[in-house]
Structure 1
């Protein structure tokens, strides 16, 4: 299924460079965006790692939903990603454990800082945004608590890139008030896609 992963990478690159394709908020743009992680999910099917397939598929659904307009679509997309992160937590917990107290405490503090900073800006979406922060920080903690293995750094990089991407996205959505485009916006998509690819690669090759 290597060709599916190559196709995903190429489409992701085109999407990053040409976004929005077909106009911002267009159906074409949404489908192209969602196709990138969909291809990764399909490529994992032969391995039999069904929970990993489900996590990636939920990510693809989240990509589609978040690219549509309206608070309902936004909340549905955030919900899809939250469930995907829960599945990633379960996958992490299936691996050998090693506690890393200092970085874990630092990550919890970072999550608390995110919650404080986003509290006012999230407005009516405050509750789901706070819940999402809890879930993604839990995913990061699960990644930090794994014993070192051949895939440890790949998986940790995937979790870290996911948190970075979501931090940039939340900053653009809830905090950025400048008339100019958010300067970190161009990093949101590549960090996200690389996160999904790293998690796919690492879990597919890990023994739980």
Structure 2
């Protein structure tokens, strides 16, 4: 896969590295990049949207919904970049990512209903693992959330459902697409969990590196999974 999309992967690695440098040393990066550092973060999703359009021409509901998820990820990135300017920007960013996750859920659901009879055992495991994580992590965060209890509860439920629906694609699409999207969903949950811990519980110095590295990989893997997607023939298992 890396060799197959070599030019794009090289460009995305450059964006990835520059964004991590911005997160690791914001002061120096602003001096070196000047105002261009504001363009680096949006390039994450913009590059992935262009890549998706090039390879799929947005044919079919799946590609359109993944594109929509990336678009709202772009909105979320932009709002969070300026969250220090106004507190409402954090909520707008949260809402943007929430809509993005809902669009991913709607995309993954298309593959689930293709043949909902198969892989029932895997579905039960996904429900148990992601459901338990959602409940336990929310209970842990709840004392720190103040007026954000309900928004965070809704967000935790939706992102866990996104993970469940990503897992439900097993056996319905080719293995490569399933694994790429599945790992993308897991990394997205990890990224959001780190962000929530850093914002509500205990800020830590390297949080930006961990949040952005997992987030960028998550969006990359989901996009690649959408490009590599091939439906399997319907069969009972």
Taking structure 1 as the reference length, the TM-score comes to 0.87
Residue aligning to 1:67: 81
Q: Which whole-Å deviations, capped at 9, do the CAs of 1:117-166 have from their partners, x for residues lacking one?
A: 11121222222111111110110110122223322111110100100111
Unaligned runs of 5+ in 2: 232-237
Total equivalences in the alignment? 203
Residue aligning to 1:12: 16
Larger Rg: 2
Residue 113 (structure 1) aligned with residue 113 (structure 2): no
| Conserved? CA contact 1:146–1:152, under 8 Å | yes
Secondary structure of the residue that 1:146 maps to in structure 2?
coil
Unaligned runs of 5+ in 1: none
| Conserved? CA contact 1:152–1:202, under 8 Å | yes
- The alpha-carbon deviation at position 4 of structure 1 amounts to 4.8
User: Which of 38, 42, 47 lines up with 2:46 in the alignment?
Assistant: 38
Secondary structure of the residue that 1:147 maps to in structure 2?
coil
Q: Aligned-residue CA RMSD in angstroms?
A: 2.2
Within-5 A mapping of 1:1-208: 3-19=7-23, 20=26, 21-22=29-30, 28-46=36-54, 47=56, 48=58, 49-68=63-82, 69=84, 70-96=86-112, 97=116, 98-99=119-120, 100=122, 101-148=124-171, 149-150=174-175, 151-176=177-202, 181-182=204-205, 185-207=208-230
Taking structure 2 as the reference length, the TM-score comes to 0.77
Q: For residues 102 and 43 of structure 1, do their structure 2 counterparts lie closer, same or farther at Cα, with a shift above 3 Å needed?
A: closer
Q: For residues 32 and 161 of structure 1, do their structure 2 counterparts lie closer, same or farther at Cα, with a shift above 3 Å needed?
A: same
